Amino acid sequence: MAESPTAATDELARIDLLRFPVQIRGRAQQNHEGLMREFALIANPHPASEHDIPVRLLRIVVDLRDRYGGFTNESSAELDAAAERGDEEMDLTLLVPAAARGAAVELTGLLEEADDYCRRGELLTLATPPELVAFRNWYLGQVVEQIDGRPPTPWAA
């Protein structure tokens, strides 16, 4: 069973996401949710399916949500409000366990594998568009870099 955020023993790391692209985040969420829906369809009726990447990706996404979701609920609400106002960008601060570093690295690799499946036509979902890949790499990269002690790098469109 996944560890809850309140049970995490890791020290919290401050992640400053400067010039966070609110509208791009909305498109990235839609893209990600579409991919997750397709993976859920693959994984549920055929647990022993040859599509191993989607099953692994679903597992890590569920694990990340269960372990770290509580740390991002407040920022998600802030981002949702900013999107409703039509804001293009905002500065955002997350407090996450240091273990989020490894999860960000693993998720980056799995999402790249999923895009490879999409490009080969093995999934119905299209590969992530370049702008959203850049956003994903920046966002997850900031988690890794700042946990490693490097200063924040603002989003550059």
Per residue in 57-79, pLDDT (tens digit) is 666 666 656 665 555 556 888 99
Average pLDDT of the chain? 81
Helices (H) and strands (E) in the chain — how many of each?
4, 2
Q: What is the predicted pLDDT for the residue at 6?
A: 40
Residues above pLDDT 70, as percent of the chain = 73
- Range 6-9 contact pairs with CB under 8 angstroms and sequence separation of 24 or more: 6/70, 8/67, 8/97, 8/99
Tokens of 12: 């919290």
For residue 42, the 8-state DSSP code is: H
Point out the residues of the chain with pLDDT beneath 50.
1-9
Query: Alpha helix (H) ranges present in 2-129?
Result: 22-43, 52-85, 100-119
Q: What is the predicted pLDDT for the residue at 1?
A: 36
Q: Report pTM.
A: 0.78
**H or E element at residue 140:** helix 130-147
Tokens of 102: 């490894």
Q: What is the predicted pLDDT for the residue at 70?
A: 55
Q: What is the predicted pLDDT for the residue at 113?
A: 84
